[in-house]
Amino acid sequence: MPRQDHTSGPLDLTGIATLPAVLIAAGAVTALDAPVIGANLRGSATACPRAALDLGLLIAYVWVSALGHVTVTVLNPTAAPITPAAPIVIDVMVKNIP
């Protein structure tokens, strides 16, 4: 019997990405991989850092980049390099779309 929410598999699939405490150049984008078992290419992905990002850094976009993998991109739109003070764990959630 189909689920009432019209999804296949678990309702919410989760994974974790970690932004390391390494320099992010001015104007650069850093791509992080988050393994999410069961994520399909049509899945809708979201990301939420467990702590505040360092001033100037932004999560630019998040998508299911391959089966079971989500890419989280962190952007430094400033004119200066930024090194995060500490690694930041980013929770990732995927809702599969059949």
Is the pLDDT reported for residue 11 higher than 70?
Answer: no
Specify the higher pLDDT residue, 8 or 60: 60
Residues 6+ apart with CB under 8 A from 75: 28, 29, 30, 57, 58, 59, 60
Is the pLDDT reported for residue 5 higher than 60?
Answer: no
Is the pLDDT reported for residue 4 higher than 50?
Answer: no
pTM of the model: 0.86
By C-alpha distance, which of 13, 17, 1, 14 is closest to 97?
13
Total residues belonging to the chain: 98
Per-residue pLDDT of 20-56, as tens digits, reads 999 999 999 999 999 999 999 999 999 999 999 999 9
Nearest 5°: the CA angle 7, 89, 64 is 35
